[in-house]
Amino acid sequence: MYVVVSPAVSLNGSESPDRNPDQGSGRGVSVVLTPLDAAGLPNGPAETVSPESLATAVQEREAAGRPRWVWDDTAHWYPMLLAAGVRVERAVDLRLSHAILRRSALTSGSALAASAPSAWDGPRALPARQRQETTLFDFDEGPVPSAGELDSLAEFRLQRAAITASGDPSRLGLLLAAESAGALIAAEMQFAGLPWNARRHDELLTRALGPRPAPGARPAEMEALLARIRHELSDPEANPDSPQELVKALRRAGIQTESTRSWELRNIKHPAIEPLLAYKKLSRLLTANGWNWIDTWVTGGRFHATFVPGGVVTGRWAADGGGALQLPHAVRGAVIADDGWKLVVADAAQLEPRILAALSGDRAMAAAGRDQDLYNGIVASGAVDTRAHAKLGMLGAMYGGTSGESGRMLPRLAKAYPHAIRFVEDAARAGERGEIVSTRLGRSSPAPSDAWLDGQDAGGDGSEAARRRAQTEARSWGRFTRNFVVQGTAAEWALCWMAGLRGRLSELAGPAAALTDGPHLAFFLHDEIMVHTPGELADDVARIVRETAAEAGRLIFGDAPVQFPVTVAIVDSYDEAKD
């Protein structure tokens, strides 16, 4: 059973749907709930409810039969339901699904793929704090649509038709279910927030930087380092906050450097370098995750990150605000479970090479990862001599690295794991030819831009410079498609993992407790998840985390002989979880 949730639109246009109404203000249009069968045909009476009574109506239907809620944008509808204490089990996010189906090679012949760009290709609903800062619609392509174009019933039927007619409905069906579940999870995680102890964070900052300085002033530790830098450079004006000025100051002191990047400075022998590197480290901590960050992002002991499902072309999530996907290890000690609660932190071990082994059907690589660290398994097979080399080589193979240690490992890996290496090489060659590549479940890469295609044309019969530029661009796009298939399929695995985990957590404690009263997902980072749970359930959660990881592998790869082990830590503080 599906129920479409859509704004009521009157024919005279006096009520127009607003994708970003002021939540909770009472303004906004009525909402229609339309029951549908799997083919998209009505199978019950539609009901019109006021915005104020939407949550109650959803709650009632959820309790009665757990329908699959169909709406244009989870980021628009679900936060207000969550704020009212309503959790839904299943949903279809039409906007996220549309983005996948429009581009997928599996649905290239569908009416949906052929349709003109519309509001369905537009951006997600924005969180409240950004609404005044951005225009409502900001399109990369196509005209600005009228809001009335967002006809969720029609779009749902278009999507069902595209999926049914695709060569492999089960793959796309799984992908869209996982993507939509991810949208629910993202909203729930933002609602619950990551437990964040501002006092502990302040202690960490004070230990590293000194006490919080007055606004605009440097912390004491940075001031002390600055004095040392200036002394060692014999330059009382040296300014490490400006790369341009710093390069000049370094050159005046006889230090030849092209940039002020830490890795370049690290190779220079000069007494100013050590305090300079320390200064840069502290400066980064201060500006990115210092006291201002706490003031901006921590409220009520929680960091309410905005996760953006589908925000990355490969299908990875992006984040918006607070740098949620780049929380530095230096402040993870401030992530502390509530009293009597635990953090269950789980990390998929060597996820991407395992994904590659499964994608390519490379039995030797699958064997290398069986019941052990995959990189150690590669060493044990005799292909390379150390774990570091195995890791470097595999990352290079998946990223398209050619130089250094990584490039030197490639021939050995290609010999030991020919199927795996050929798989990524094929993806790279396809990209270089301008072709599209797809993940296991059917998310396809974007076509190269017109500028890229023009460049390739120009390289064919143009000057030597044009030819070289074309080759450089071709190889660059090849590195993108090479990585796309692995990173994108790893993202699918992670979505399936999370979706399965979410379901099992709600079974464990009951759906009523699943928002914040019981074990719930609190954080996600590409191949790592965190559950905030009452302490007495932590062992159960840890077991479920492992089981759902294995299930995700079976869902996507069937009985492929590749394991997907996870390292699980039950801790009070995020920094106790080993990386």
Partner DNA sequence: TACCCGCGCCAC
Partner DNA sequence: AAACGTGGCGCGGGTA
In the complex, the residues that contact DNA under the rule CB under 7 A are 239, 241-245, 247, 259-263, 267, 280-281, 284, 287-288, 292-293, 296, 308, 311-314, 316, 318-330, 392, 395-396, 399-406, 476, 479-480, 483, 487, 525-528, 579
Work out how close the CB of 296 gets to DNA at its nearest, in angstroms, rounded to a whole number: 7
- Count Cβ atoms below 10 Å from residue 157 Cβ, excluding itself: 17
Work out how close the CB of 460 gets to DNA at its nearest, in angstroms, rounded to a whole number: 23
Contact between 397 and 475 under an 8 Å Cβ cutoff? The reply is no
Reported for 142-149, long-range contacts at CB under 8 A and 24+ positions apart, including other chains, are 142/116, 142/117, 142/118, 143/117, 145/118, 145/119, 146/16, 146/119, 147/16, 147/17, 147/18, 147/19, 147/119, 148/9, 148/13, 148/16, 148/17, 149/118, 149/119, 149/120
Q: Which is nearer to DNA, 264 or 457 (CB)?
A: 264
Work out how close the CB of 427 gets to DNA at its nearest, in angstroms, rounded to a whole number: 11
Work out how close the CB of 168 gets to DNA at its nearest, in angstroms, rounded to a whole number: 25
| Measured distance CA(283)–CA(278) in Å, rounded | 9
Q: Which is nearer to DNA, 105 or 395 (CB)?
A: 395
Contact between 400 and 479 under an 8 Å Cβ cutoff? The reply is yes
Helices 351-360 + 418-432 axis angle, to 10: 90
Q: Which is nearer to DNA, 133 or 461 (CB)?
A: 133
Output the six-digit token pair for 85.
């204490």
Angle, alpha carbons 19-25-31 (nearest 5°): 50
Contact between 206 and 212 under an 8 Å Cβ cutoff? The reply is yes
Q: Which is nearer to DNA, 330 or 550 (CB)?
A: 330
Q: Which is nearer to DNA, 435 or 539 (CB)?
A: 435
Work out how close the CB of 91 gets to DNA at its nearest, in angstroms, rounded to a whole number: 23
Q: Which is nearer to DNA, 1 or 410 (CB)?
A: 410
Work out how close the CB of 390 gets to DNA at its nearest, in angstroms, rounded to a whole number: 14
Q: Which is nearer to DNA, 77 or 480 (CB)?
A: 480
Q: Which is nearer to DNA, 160 or 354 (CB)?
A: 354
Task: List phi, psi (to 5°) of 337.
Answer: -65, 150
Q: Which is nearer to DNA, 31 or 229 (CB)?
A: 229
Work out how close the CB of 292 gets to DNA at its nearest, in angstroms, rounded to a whole number: 7
- Count Cβ atoms below 10 Å from residue 139 Cβ, excluding itself: 15
Q: Which is nearer to DNA, 29 or 327 (CB)?
A: 327
Of 544, 548, 416, nearest in space to 493 by CA:
548
Give the 3-state secondary structure of residue 60: helix
- Count Cβ atoms below 10 Å from residue 473 Cβ, excluding itself: 19
Tell me the residue type at 334. A
Work out how close the CB of 259 gets to DNA at its nearest, in angstroms, rounded to a whole number: 3
Radius of gyration of the chain (CA): 26
| β-pair partners for 535 | none
Work out how close the CB of 479 gets to DNA at its nearest, in angstroms, rounded to a whole number: 4
Q: Please list the alpha-helical segments (H only) found in 315-417.
A: 351-360, 363-368, 374-380, 387-399, 404-416
Q: Which is nearer to DNA, 96 or 325 (CB)?
A: 325
Tell me the residue type at 90. R
Work out how close the CB of 276 gets to DNA at its nearest, in angstroms, rounded to a whole number: 9
Strands 2-7 and 31-36: antiparallel
Residue 132 CB partners (closer than 8 Å, separation 6+): none
- Judge residue 167's burial from the number of C-beta atoms within 10 Å of its C-beta, 0-12 exposed, 13-18 middle, 19 or more buried: exposed
Work out how close the CB of 351 gets to DNA at its nearest, in angstroms, rounded to a whole number: 7
Work out how close the CB of 264 gets to DNA at its nearest, in angstroms, rounded to a whole number: 8
Element holding 507 (H helix, E strand):
helix 464-509
Q: Which is nearer to DNA, 89 or 576 (CB)?
A: 576
Q: Is the dihedral of CA 33, 34, 37, 40 positive or negative?
A: negative
